[in-house]
Amino acid sequence: MKTAALRHDVHEQIEQIGQADIVVGIPSYNSAKTIGHVVRAVQAGLAKYFPNYKAVLVNSDGGSSDGTVDVVQNTTIEDFGSILLKHRTEPMYKMAFPYSGIPGKGSAFRAVFAIAEGLNAKACAVVDSDLRSITPEWLELLITPVLENDFDYIAPLYHRHKYDGTITNSIVYPLTRALYGKRVRQPIGGDFGFSGKLAQFYLTKDVWDTDVARFGIDIWMTTTALANGFRVAQSFLGAKIHDAKDPGSDLSDMLYQVVSATFGLMDGYAEQWMAIENSQAVPTFGFEYSVGLEPVKVNTARMIDFFREGIVNLHEIWLSILGAGDLREVERLGALNDSEFHFPIALWTRVVYDYAIAFHQRKLSPEHLIKSLTPLYLGKTASFILEAEHMDAHEAEAEIEKLCQEFESSKSYLVTNWK
Amino acid sequence: MSDFLNLILEPLQQLFHKLEEFAPNFLAMLVILLAGILFAWLLRKLVIKLLDTLQFDSWSDRKGFTTLMRKGDMWGKPSLLAGAFVFWVTVIVALMTGLSALNINAIDQLVSQFFVYLPRAFSAILILGIGYIFAGFVSRAVLISAVNSGYHYAKLLAEAIRILLTTLILAMVMEQLQIAPGIVLAAFTIICGGIVLALSISFGVGGIDAARRVIERQATREDQEPEKEDIQHL
């Protein structure tokens, strides 16, 4: 079946290949420095774990100007023997092309879904092009549960520094878990496995001209799988180390992209999540092990300063979103010394729920609304970092677990106020 | 005696003839006015019902129109205000149309001037409405961006931008209404030029040290490698 998501030459390549068992997608944009390693890891993973499956590696590129596509085309593992691999019995194909549609990771993924549909693939995986820690085992962990255990969606599970991934830890994970009742620890991990059936289901959704195509694809994929009853699991992949972008430089943009995508999906799936209470663990694949992580430099005093600036300047906006009671609580936090600073989890839960309700009720323009959350988020992040300073990874994770339980137990507040 | 009676009756007859000529016109004016009032009343009901269906009051609350009304000492619902506005505009149009039925030269001129002015009034109202929303939006965007960039005087900056935009919009409205356009343009130019000049002088004369510190700090910052946080929020 031809789809408008693909160019004519890509259709020709699909026709030449005919059918494939596995499709692995790598979305990219100016990733020439890192994509070679990712391609080699994917090739090795497919050779080592799926030698009897016909596989296609797809590089869906956003018009890179640094020769990313050439790197993909020219990267091969010359000597499989040196990495203890036998030669494949089934061929492995490679496709690298610029995707069609509005620029963004979602459009790149759409092309991968379309190719999976065109090749009638059984299982697919997508991995980021800037990964430095990807190993061939990632392919096994993302694809085998789909091929052999009939799962439809495999989310990643990484070991990360206790201070990293704070948007996930303090907003997206607790909220997704409380809403849809499944404990998917990394709902926006970026590296996923999924069935051909789910890829086809994604293509039926009319979202490819929206923000999903630009930046909201990760949470959209996870939420769509959860809310539509697909079988979901997660696989432990080890550490996630990727090419460092300038962290914190565009925090409010990042927050807007992730949180608006999450809140936007709440509107569409309100009927489903309103009926759900509590949460269940999802099956986890892979052998968990501890990972040595680089220390992370943070400046909590600066974060608390941003929080206090928010109290001074955003009073009216916060009042319209949080109400007088919770705003008073927030203002009380602003008066605390840095050493005593502590953002209670119950208050943070209500803040996130109030913002979700305000987003639903269109109280402000979505961008203004969510960007006004930035100082509150920094306050919560500073509080977590101060509390977790002397904790090991397990203790820090237990704190996140407490927050998740608070989100679940306070869900009635969200349901009651959702009009 | 008969001549004397004629002298009295003739003006009365003329008055009667004039009244006879004027009465149908007056009646027509009354009919137009009454029909206009009835139509305005129906239109008001219709507008209120439509705005209720569209949840205009909630939208106004969110967009700050309700707050603006309260500041202007208007305490009714925004939909009722919109209904009242439509009612009175329709009544005024009906009154003007009715007056033109009297066929009096002076009134005809007034009516034609009113209808020529009407599009200007509407476009002024439109400029005011859109301008108010635009000024609020830009001011809020500046406020949030400035806070998220750690700028200490975010509120002051946002408020200054809102006042500047509101002044510009009011000047445009007055220019549209042709209210002393020359004076408005001159006043606007003087105010804007004055603000820029005042800022330049106050910063240039009073803030030499501050300016030096800002420039030195900037230069020092460029020399030093900025201390970056490693935390990855995603």
Q: Where exactly are the structural domains of chain B? A: 10-103, 180-219
**Interface residue of A159, A309, A386 to substitute, partner B, most B CBs within 10 Å:** A309
pLDDT band, residue A248 (cuts 50/70/90):
very low
Residue from the list B141, B228, B229 with its beta carbon closest to the beta carbon of A368: B141
- Please list the residues that pair with A56 across neighbouring strands: A23, A93
- CB contacts of A368 in chain B (<8 Å) are 137, 140-141, 144
Is A8-285 in CATH node 3.90.550.10? yes
- CB contacts of B155 in chain A (<8 Å) are 312-313
A94: left (phi over 0), alpha (psi -120 to 50) or beta: beta
Residue A72 Cα to chain centre, angstroms: 24
d(CA B159, CA A155): 46
CB contact under 8 A, A313 and B143: yes
The residue length of chain A stands at: 419
pLDDT tens digits, A152-189: 999 999 988 888 889 999 999 999 999 999 999 999 98
Residue from the list A298, A306, A314 with its beta carbon closest to the beta carbon of B150: A306
Please tell me the predicted confidence (pLDDT) of residue A3.
61
pLDDT band, residue A88 (cuts 50/70/90):
low
Annotated domain spans of chain A? 8-285, 300-417
CB-based contact, B233 to chain A, within 8 Å: yes
CB-based contact, B133 to chain A, within 8 Å: no
Poorest-confidence range of A166-180, B104-118, B158-172?
B104-118
3-state DSSP assignment of residue B55: coil
Q: What per-residue string of b and e applies to B69-82 under the rule 16 or more CB within 10 Å gives b?
A: beeeeeeebbbbbb
pLDDT tens digits, B37-88: 999 999 999 999 999 898 888 888 777 677 767 666 667 788 898 999 899 9
CB-based contact, B71 to chain A, within 8 Å: no
Please give the single-letter amino acid code of residue A169.
N
Distance of residue A29 Cα from the nearest chain B Cα, in angstroms: 19
Q: What is the mean pLDDT of residues A407-418?
A: 94
Q: Do A304 and A169 contact (CB within 8 A), yes or no?
A: no
Backbone angles phi, psi at A56, to 5 degrees: -130, 130
- The yes-or-no verdict on residue B132 having pLDDT over 80 is yes
Question: For all residues of chain A together, what is the average pLDDT?
Answer: 89
The predicted model scores a pTM of: 0.80
Residue from the list A166, A255, A363 with its beta carbon closest to the beta carbon of B231: A166
Residue from the list B154, B228, B233 with its beta carbon closest to the beta carbon of A251: B233
Please tell me the predicted confidence (pLDDT) of residue B35.
94
Poorest-confidence range of A92-106, A264-278, B203-217?
B203-217
3-state DSSP assignment of residue A33: helix
CA nearest to A381, candidates A169, A188, A183, A172? A169
Please give the single-letter amino acid code of residue B217.
R
Distance of residue B149 Cα from the nearest chain A Cα, in angstroms: 8
Please tell me the predicted confidence (pLDDT) of residue B4.
80
Q: Do A130 and A243 contact (CB within 8 A), yes or no?
A: yes
